[in-house]
Structure 1
Amino acid sequence: MNDQLELRDLIYFQRIATLGHVGKAAEQLHKTQPALTGSIRRLERTLNTRLFEKDGRNIQLTAAGKLLLQRSQSILASVQDVAEEIKELESGEKGQVKLGLVPTAAHHILLPIIHILTRDFPNIQLKTVIGQTDFLYEKLRERELDLVIGLYGELDDNFECVPFYQDTMVVVANSSHDIFKEDISLARLVNFKWILAPSSVMSRQWLDRAFDLHGFSKPEVQIETNLLLMIPSVIMKTELLSFISRRNLESVDTSKKHLKEVPIAELSMDRFYNVISRREGYLSPAAKCLRDIFIQQGRRIFDGN
């Protein structure tokens, strides 16, 4: 079977399966329809099973076809990794690294990392994408990113995760907020409005669960935004509460209203920043170099030392 299963056939199969139409696949691949049909027939003979079935004018995968699509993606990705690894065998620490970062990580470590690369590794090119953890994981899974600096969540089994920095999320308000004029409790927090990240963000989910576990309704969110780095400025100029990194408490603005932690132990959440890569995926020498910088120097960089 190994002699008969050709990579070219898997490539054609993958495109047909994705589009659900032989004609459209032929147009994209610049091949004739008979050539693609013959490719599918070779695969079906080799595997002794049908891979497609009619669905009106289109076709859809059988159960065997769905399994082959899943496996073929891994096979073709591995082949691509081998080609890249051989090509870059002698390249050393140079080339482009595609790095994804969650907003807080980007705020604290992106400039120091750029400084290190331009000073010590001038042949490494860095392309960055800033986004929420779920978005970055999807880009990593699709091989559009080499590394992700993200927060621990429900990680894919195919990801390798190395923690390098611990952070704490706390409730915050501006220093003159009414919350500080009386005894602070969870029950009182329910009476105020909040600005929070979207419900897809891990810290927001944790906060909602914490209120629920203690028998209170979820925070009343007046403003929801994925521009997380904007939140501290909004808190300082409004009476809204929020849930952000303790590291952001140093921020001030011209109104002289400082951010201040609302001290309540039930709503203190420890979290870890991690450097994340595909477990079986190929990492170029440049990507390995950047990963090692985060692992070895990430804590010092985060702390601004």
Structure 2
Amino acid sequence: MMNNRELGYFMEAARIMNLGLASQNLNITQPALSKSIARLEKDLNIKLFKRSGRGLVLTEAGSILYQRGLMLQSSWHDVAKTMAELSNGRRGVVRVGSAGSATQFLLPEVCKRLQQEAPNVKLEIQIGMNDVLFSLLDKHELDIIIGPLVGYNKPVVQLPVTTDRVVVAASRSHPLADGPASLRDLSRYGWILPAKTVSMRQWLERIFYENHCAAPEVKIEISSLAAVPGLIASSGLLSFISENSLAEKEFASLLTRIDNNQLVMARRVGITYLQDAFLSPATQQVIDITCAYGQH
């Protein structure tokens, strides 16, 4: 019967693929590690490693056991984290990815309520566009994302909280600031936009394409439009930003919306997390507080 120690020894050997180095990390002798793996193989009645030069290679069975072992270790970490949070009055750290616009109009209220209702919970906030945040979520480096609910190629849970619209904006002195502007008018000027991998930019460029207009000429590509109202204003370039952000004081004093009904992108804003993700009590508390914002 496999025990936790033998599994732990196997996991370290499988991670490094070298018995000498693995035994040093485990603070045991190499013969002791070899005997432990041999006992495990005997108990399971199957080979887990095969030799490759001076190193090791996992067999098919070894590879499966290693992947399952990683899942077991992750599950144990989650259990230990939950117990620690419960024993410390729901203390815990929640890693939150936030879209730039949500950082301005949604996250401040969430943080305010969190301090009132769960002051022992600490947030680690990563601000970025959806492509970067989804990459971090996929690697389990984020617990949740607060921002626009966009499509993703893996099973996720998405909880709508509020709505938002993205519109064309520019400095108050821009030549198009005084009235409505057609797509052809807008295509004659330079833009500040996020990377091509961001869904918001993809939507914008698709509208120009479907209406047989030249795509926006991107003069500046930036990771967070919501953080740079001064840059948009001083550059004389057009941009495509959240209407909620545009209403904020720092934006409203510098920028104005450029009217074009074809370029109004309605979107839902809320919480996204991986469908198979472990949600600690602290994470669930942040989710509950954020969802409550949409019900007020």
TM-score over 0.5 for the alignment?
A: yes
Q: C-alpha distance in 2, partners of 1:239/1:218?
A: 18
Most deviating of 103-112 and 28-37: 28-37
The 1:24/1:149 distance shift into structure 2, 3 A limit, reads farther
Most deviating of 156-165 and 167-176: 156-165
Pick the aligned partner of 1:295 from 281, 287, 291: 291
The corresponding residue for 1:270 is: 266
Q: C-alpha distance in 1, partners of 2:250/2:80?
A: 52
Pick the aligned partner of 2:190 from 174, 189, 193: 193
Pick the aligned partner of 2:121 from 118, 121, 124: 124
Say whether the 8 Å CA contact 1:99–1:147 is kept in structure 2: yes
The 1:122/1:289 distance shift into structure 2, 3 A limit, reads same
Kindly state the Cα deviation for residue 70 of structure 1 after the two structures are TM-superposed. 3.4
Say whether the 8 Å CA contact 2:230–2:254 is kept in structure 1: no
Paired residue secondary structure (1:178): coil
Give the residue type in structure 1 aligned to 2:241: I
Give the residue type in structure 2 aligned to 1:153: V
Kindly state the Cα deviation for residue 100 of structure 1 after the two structures are TM-superposed. 2.6
Identity of aligned residues (%): 34
Q: C-alpha distance in 2, partners of 1:217/1:21?
A: 57
Pick the aligned partner of 1:283 from 279, 283, 287: 279
The corresponding residue for 2:229 is: 232
Report Cα offsets for 1:29-82 as digits up to 9, x if no partner. Answer: 434444444454455555555544555554444555444443332222122223
Pick the aligned partner of 1:222 from 219, 222, 225: 219
The 1:158/1:249 distance shift into structure 2, 3 A limit, reads closer
Paired residue secondary structure (2:95): strand
Say whether the 8 Å CA contact 1:163–1:274 is kept in structure 2: yes
The corresponding residue for 2:165 is: 168
Give the residue type in structure 2 aligned to 1:230: A
Q: C-alpha distance in 2, partners of 1:215/1:7?
A: 64
The CA RMSD measured in Å over matched residues stands at: 3.4
Q: TM-score, normalised by structure 2?
A: 0.80
Q: C-alpha distance in 1, partners of 2:9/2:256?
A: 57
Structure 2 unmatched ranges of 5 or more: none
Pick the aligned partner of 1:241 from 225, 238, 242: 238
Give the residue type in structure 1 aligned to 2:240: F
The corresponding residue for 1:72 is: 69
The 1:159/1:11 distance shift into structure 2, 3 A limit, reads farther
Kindly state the Cα deviation for residue 223 of structure 1 after the two structures are TM-superposed. 0.7
Pick the aligned partner of 2:256 from 251, 259, 263: 259
Instruction: Count residues in correspondence.
Output: 296
Give the residue type in structure 1 aligned to 2:290: F
Paired residue secondary structure (1:116): helix
